[in-house]
A and B are shown apart, each in its own frame.
Chain A
Amino acid sequence: MKNALELSYLVPLFPLIGFLIIGLGRKYLSKSLTGFIANGVMLASFVVSILIFLQVKDGGSYVAEYFRFISTDSLKIPFAFQVDALSSLFLLIITGVGFLIHVYSASYMHHESKEHFARYFSYLNLFVFSMLLLVMGANFVILFIGWEGVGLCSYLLIGYWFKNTEYNYAARKAFVMNRIGDLAFLIAIFWIISKVGSASFTEVFSADGLSKLSGTDITAITILLFVGATGKSAQIPLYTWLPDAMAGPTPVSALIHAATMVTAGIYMIARSNELYSLSHITQNIVAYIGLATALLAATIALKQNDIKRVLAYSTVSQLGYMFLALGAGAYTAAVFHVMTHAFFKALLFLGSGSVIHAMGGDQDIRNMGGLNKKLKITAFTFLVGCIAIAGIPPLSGFFSKDAILLASFLKNPVLYGIALFTALLTAFYMFRLYFVTFSGKFRGTHEQEHHLHESPALMTVPLIILAILSIIGGLVGIPEVFAKGGDKIGQFLSPVIKEHREHEVSHATEYLLMGLSTGLVVLTIVFAWFRFKNYQPKEETGLGKVLENKWYVDELYDRIIVNPLSRFAAFLNDVFERYIVDGVVNGVGKAVNYGSRQLRLLQSGQVGSYVLLMVLSILLLLVYQFFLKK
């Protein structure tokens, strides 16, 4: 199997082919054929990813250049893939979880018409292709191409049900906010290219490349890259698009806005870890903003009533955790959390999709309750997801979150304290969601009650698989305390991620931290149980109302940014466009018209004036010839 790495181009190629076939043939392919093709290409990519992973595990790494993308005298940017530990891990996550979500979608989207069904899968395949391009790119430019591609597909999929204007606004909001981050990203790329002369990872992160960057260069570049990451990964201040993005179909939310696209920022920073390790200012910024976002999102999630919104804010909060880890220098912990979060967040989203499907499209948890009787598999897997995200051992969430908490403690105990508080909030709102939705009595209408049923196998099997992964997924990152050499993922990623532990921490401290977090979380869950087991919806007041309205951040943005820009655009349209631009363009036309009208008068048909003109012309010629020529 020596050649698995050389076949790495197949991994993005399969989804691309899927996109082309389904996209071009959407009017002709039957639904089952479409589903078959879409899932087939994902499975194929997954198989190749496994082969690649096995080879990389044995110490392989590969940079494959395919063709010259940009090639000028001073700048060469090849279209190249870099297959190493970091990218192969992400490949597994993307293709694996992606495959499960594709399977789920084939059932979830079943009642769409043939053409729209195909449209959905073509977008989904295109998205996977772009995401794969993003993680496999060997230089910043290819990464950026994938970055843009996933942004585009996110827009297409959020606005999938395009007949609804609100959804279109949500899609537009997502795209515009992404774009703001993209601008910063681009500037960072230009900066890198101008200083180092290349955008390839191997060249930029080599000692030679890094020596060309001064301290301010590195700080500026890392900050700009981070701003790009805030746009894509929904951190403060560019996070408000993610809750609105729940307008898309639920599998889309699972794939794009939980497992893959939003983790692109994490990937990018993990990839650039050598740059970030050199700039302490940026690391602090990353950590503080990550933590602040985590806390903010968690507080908002406490009072949301739409099942998908709670999960969306939860995603934002968990992403904040990952950025906290990155800021604390624990890149491996962040990537580990990406993996476990992909498992349990996808599980939670797909589970919520199952619930919505059973409720006939209703997403308001105030109308739910007591669903665990009718939706047994969904309820059980959802519970597994909640336990995982709360961080109860030995599920996956515990190990990854614990690694992050440890790293933040090492950086600054205050950070640890806030992070711990946020973890408690996480447990609280997740279990609120669980108890309100699945426990107690059903609060919906009678028709909904009759309609309740468990989802078909195509939907429940991925749920089960993801639940299993959520349970055992943490076992690759067992900290040193429990088992020597248990941190397999750390060892796996070490060639790519250069981490150094600043302090060594005693076992006792570690045990103490772990015990503290676990104990408090369990207490919180019990508290939530008592609070919500017989939930009755009621009006929110005071702080609750503020939280329910998301701290009015959207309104603030509207007031400060959106409305002035709208007014400016209206001004440009009414005044500038009409009078100046149109004036100039029409004015040219009018001037030509006028000039030609005047010129036409020359042709009067009067011989006398013709002769006069002739004489005058000859006069001018003679004057020029005899007097003006030197």
Chain B
Amino acid sequence: MSFELRVKVLLLAARNSGLETQNMPINYYIFLSVALFCIGIVGVLTRRNAIVIFMCIELMLNAVNLLLVAFSKMHHFKRAVADVSAGSDGQLFVFFIMVVAAAEVSVGLAIIVMMYRNIHSVDINFLNRLKH
């Protein structure tokens, strides 16, 4: 057999027998992502510094991104034979999430700076204007 063919066969064999190429079961990614997400939530609930809360939100976003990428690979693995680009949606979605996160961070930090200028603190307990 020619070299390319042998590589192809090997790759095919590898593709079809999950254990040999040591693919990860999706559950592990799910648990990891959920854990990171919940750590982010605990951070939001626990901290008082607005900037740290913001960072925990970014952490949550990243957990979701990770899960999306993992699922996109899962779909690709399932359907790669039929459709070459199956699963690319997930990764593109992650791309757009990053876009939005960047925009959000810029605006959010601008607001925090504004807040700091007015009350010289970034403690969220002083932000109770929503009461009225």
Contact = CB atoms under 8 A, between A and B. Distances in A.
22 contacts: A603-B130, A603-B131, A604-B128, A605-B128, A605-B129, A605-B130, A605-B131, A605-B132, A606-B124, A606-B125, A606-B128, A607-B124, A607-B127, A607-B130, A608-B45, A608-B48, A608-B124, A608-B125, A610-B130, A611-B45, A612-B45, A615-B45
B60 to A, nearest CB: 12
A569 B38 CA distance: 67
Contacts of A610: 130
A604 B126 CA distance: 11
A612 B42 CA distance: 9
A603 B45 CA distance: 17
B44 interface: yes
Interface in A604-629: 604-608, 610-612, 615
A610 B131 CA distance: 11
Interface in B87-132: 124-125, 127-132
Nearest to B42: A615
Contact of A615 (B41, B125, B131, B132): B41
A605 B44 CA distance: 16
Interface of B: 41, 44-45, 48, 124-125, 127-132
A610 B48 CA distance: 13
Contacts of B125: 606, 608
B41 A604 contact: no
Nearest to B128: A605
Nearest to B48: A608
Contacts of B129: 605
A204 B129 CA distance: 80
A606 B123 CA distance: 11
A611 B45 CA distance: 7
Contacts of B130: 603, 605, 607, 610
A628 B12 CA distance: 44
Interface centre among A604, A608, A610 (most CB of B within 10 A): A608
Q: Which 10 A-B pairs have the closest CB atoms?
A: A605-B131, A605-B128, A605-B130, A607-B124, A612-B45, A606-B128, A611-B44, A615-B41, A608-B124, A607-B127
B116 to A, nearest CB: 16
Nearest to A606: B128
Contacts of B127: 605, 607
A331 B131 CA distance: 86
A606 B48 CA distance: 11
Contacts of A615: 41, 45
Contacts of B48: 608
Contacts of B132: 605
